[in-house]
Chains A and B, each alone.
Chain A
Amino acid sequence: GIQVEQSPPDLILQEGANSTLRCNFSDSVNNLQWFHQNPWGQLINLFYIPSGTKQNGRLSATTVATERYSLLYISSSQTTDSGVYFCAVETGNQFYFGTGTSLTVIP
């Protein structure tokens, strides 16, 4: 199956700082999503982004499918951004999640 690697595995930020999370995948994919898992375990959709760039408020994402990576940008981070960020890919009805980036934003 496809390998999905996320970096960094852990990140600690001061409130207000910016960050970039990366997702690398080992083969071509049809779809890619970014999720935020909050402290209660709920996975919240951030972006559905098989290619291109999207923005939603302080968050934006870019997927370069030909180079097999995606980036999630968080600007002006807030304590509510804390949690684990996952990317997930789909190819040929196979679904794979990365191991996540654990983000802690301190006041």
Chain B
Amino acid sequence: DVKVTQSSRYLVKRTGEKVFLECVQDMDHENMFWYRQDPGLGLRLIYFSYDVKMKEKGDIPEGYSVSREKKERFSLILESASTNQTSMYLCASSTRRYEQYFGPGTRLTVT
């Protein structure tokens, strides 16, 4: 079975802090994704990576950056956290045909 893990289930940070969310997959998938999920807005793509060190912006990249130094690991970075970044963050990995598998999610609260 595909396994996607995320570093934290719950995280509380202060405004202005730098925040790292980590995601690891164990299926040698080329593609990895970061989404955020908000009530009434559904899931929205932040960034997508199709290979090591390669990335593409999704629908809402502002305020975020990503890092993929190894194939199995994809990090989402909030350079200076703000309260409007309080959300559920979901990581996924996929096969080349874009069959996506999700991690358990990280509920981030920025106070």
Contact = CB atoms under 8 A, between A and B. Distances in A.
Interface of A: 1, 30-31, 33, 35, 40-45, 48, 86, 88, 90, 93, 95, 97-100
Nearest to A35: B102
B62 interface: no
A93 B56 CA distance: 9
A95 B48 CA distance: 9
- Main SS at interface, chain A: strand
A18 to B, nearest CB: 26
Contacts of A41: 37, 88, 90, 104-105, 107
- Main SS at interface, chain B: strand
B105 A42 contact: yes
Interface of B: 33, 35, 37, 42-45, 48, 50, 56, 58-59, 88, 90, 92, 97-102, 104-105, 107
A107 to B, nearest CB: 27
A93 B97 contact: no
Contact of B48 (A45, A48, A93): A93
A40 B10 CA distance: 12
A107 B89 CA distance: 32
Nearest to B90: A43
Contact of A43 (B48, B50, B98, B102): B102
A100 B43 CA distance: 10
Contacts of B98: 30-31, 90, 95
Contacts of A45: 99-102
